Chains A and B, each alone.
Chain A
Amino acid sequence: MQLRINQTTYEVDADADTPLLWVIRDDLGLTGTKYGCGLAQCGACSVLVDGAVVRACVTPVAGVVGREITTIEAVEADAVGKRVVSAWVKHQVAQCGYCQSGQVMAATALLKHTPHPSDAQIAAAMVNLCRCGTYNAIHAAVHDVAAAQENA
């Protein structure tokens, strides 16, 4: 089957029910997307499919054929994604960093859909787990991007 990932078409040989995460990491070597729980619980594996955030560990690959997939490796090709990454750097959000590619994808999806989210909307959308407890820095960075977009 053919997958569109980060503007590139890949030919992959996988069973229909293989999790997208396995294909991305093991077959294509795009290891920026992380494996945390494999059970849709943590969000470390978040990627964008047609601009919406999905958890790649519970996404059967057959379901995303013909759709536009974006991983952390190419998130900066997106204008919003680029601002999110800059804000992440400015706020020095990452601690160990393991959850952060997923956090960036979730924040990008939120801000593309809702450029000026309220605190409640941020809390509702940013539900990925972070063992290092970077939640406050994440909120600050998301607010920062929203405010910058306002001024832009």
Chain B
Amino acid sequence: MTKSRLATTLGCFALLCLVIAAVLAWYVTRTPASPFAAQASAAPPDPALVQRGEYVARLGDCVACHSLPEAAPFTGGLKMATPLGAIYATNITADRATGIGAYSLADFDRAVRHGVTPDGRRLYPAMPYPSYAKLSDDDIRALYAFFMHGVSPAAQANKPSEIPWPLNLRWPIALWNGLFTDPAPYPAKPDQDAQWNRGAYIVQGPGHCGSCHTPRGLAFNEKGLSEASKTYLAGGLLDGWYAPSLRNDPNTGLGRWNEADIVSFLKHGRNRHAVVYGSMTEAFNNSTQFMSDEDLGAIAHYLKSLPGDPSRDGPAWQYQASELSAASSAPGAHTYVSRCATCHGLDGRGQAEWMPPLAGATSALAREDASAINITLNGSQRIVAAGVPDAYRMPAFREQLSDREIAEVLSFVRSTWGNHGGAVEAKAVGKLREHTGPASSNPIILQMR
């Protein structure tokens, strides 16, 4: 090869690199299209639209991350520990200096549905825009009206994220978005009825159920964003909890629940199978109980249409009676009788819908034992239904039972009454004790809400 040919080849290569770099630079900083781009901000909207937006904010549970309990609503500040460092939820009130008061409807749309700020910066997908992408134009318009006119603007500066350079570069997120998100709003399925489509819309879009209930891949991407994927809502381990399957799996999912059970669970926080706990308590307290009966019915209808997977879920649970008394000698049985049976019953069946049964409970049937361990160590959070705090709560046994005692009692629960979740190791209890300890220096990696 002559010198000049080499130079030409190198030159072409360099040019190619430059072009790729330029395209890449455009791609990762470009502002996505918005159907609202050409619209000037209009006069104050119809109060009905603001009200509608408030309901959409309930469906989306915006308050879960964008508020702290003791601060003004929607002023952000919630700390989320990610593997790279902590990030903080932002102020989304209409304050012009520190909130989103200067956002146009199109800016708002790009942030909510595409995770892009007005200056082209990419949001971390802790903001569930991969789900919110499915919101309809109408709901975006209503949500915008609510945040602009229905929430008091409050000045509260955002906290900078604590992710160090170069990991804090945002542009690679655009590539992640290209691979793992679908920017189109929810497309109604013509072969399904209106109720099913409404349920699918809420579950996949504003409800962002998949953020917790869909297993994640290596890039921390949800493995499916709709029922087109068999792993969509198939249950995921996150945040020290196992978010169960929401498909028709009889053991780890909703296979034994009917539509009325699902509605009751989301509306009252409880039914004959289970009571909300873990991260679901917040979703219930702030979001699902405010949904209309019609929407809850639609959610239930849609979820019951998702088939289970026996190869993942295993043989269906059947109740098996078990003679149990204070003198039972199986390891863990004595602890169960003295600590657990008063509420959950010697027969493991709980008390109506007030105390959840452990016989047939997901936490006692799933291979993943995180939820069983976590609730035993840390107890349940307060459930507030229709403004009234619940009468009964799971106490925390962190200070009362050792790792071994917890492992034994949970192994007992997970192998009695037909439960087949399997044994729990004391080591696993110790690990979660450390991760969820109030003074832990090594906390749960991502607080997902």
Contact = CB atoms under 8 A, between A and B. Distances in A.
Q: Do A and B bind each other?
A: yes
Interface of A: 17-19, 39-41, 54-55, 58-60, 62-63, 110, 120-121, 124-125, 127
A116 to B, nearest CB: 13
A55 B326 contact: no
B416 to A, nearest CB: 17
Contacts of A125: 326
Given A55-B342, A60-B352, A124 B334 contact: yes
Interface of B: 326-327, 334, 337-338, 342-343, 351-352, 354-355, 391-393, 395
B395 A62 contact: no
B352 A62 contact: yes
A39 B393 contact: yes
Given A55-B342, A60-B351, A18 B393 contact: no
Contacts of A120: 327
A17 B385 CA distance: 13
A58 B355 contact: yes
A127 B392 CA distance: 21
Given A39-B395, A41-B395, A124-B337, A59 B351 contact: yes
Given A63-B352, A124-B337, 4 more contacts: A17-B392, A60-B391, A63-B351, A125-B326
A35 B395 CA distance: 16
21 contacts: A17-B354, A17-B391, A19-B391, A19-B392, A40-B343, A54-B342, A58-B343, A58-B392, A59-B351, A60-B352, A60-B391, A63-B352, A110-B326, A120-B327, A121-B326, A121-B327, A124-B327, A124-B334, A124-B338, A125-B326, A127-B338
Closest 8 CB pairs of A and B: A124-B326, A127-B338, A39-B395, A60-B354, A40-B342, A55-B342, A125-B326, A58-B343
Contacts of B342: 40, 54-55, 58
A41 B379 CA distance: 13
A96 B342 CA distance: 25
A125 B391 CA distance: 26
A63 to B, nearest CB: 5
Interface centre among A17, A18, A55, A63 (most CB of B within 10 A): A17
Contacts of B354: 17, 60, 63
Contacts of A41: 395
Nearest to B390: A17
Contacts of B343: 40, 58
A50 to B, nearest CB: 13
Q: Chain B CB within 10 Å — which of A40, A41, A120, A127 has the most? A: A40
A58 B355 CA distance: 9
Nearest to A41: B395
A40 B345 CA distance: 12
A59 B351 CA distance: 8
Interface centre among A63, A120, A124 (most CB of B within 10 A): A124
Contacts of B326: 110, 121, 124-125
Nearest to A127: B338
Contacts of A124: 326-327, 334, 337-338
Pick from A41, A58, A125 the residue with the most CB of B within 10 Å: A58
A120 B351 CA distance: 28
Nearest to A43: B342
A17 B337 CA distance: 23
A60 B390 CA distance: 12
A125 B327 CA distance: 8
A40 B391 CA distance: 12
Nearest to A59: B351
A19 B355 CA distance: 12
A55 B326 CA distance: 15
A124 B335 CA distance: 9
A59 B395 CA distance: 15
B329 to A, nearest CB: 9
A2 to B, nearest CB: 18
A17 B383 CA distance: 14
A120 B395 CA distance: 26
A58 B334 CA distance: 20
A39 B391 CA distance: 10
Given A54-B342, A121-B326, A124-B326, A40 B351 contact: no
B275 to A, nearest CB: 11
Nearest to A64: B351
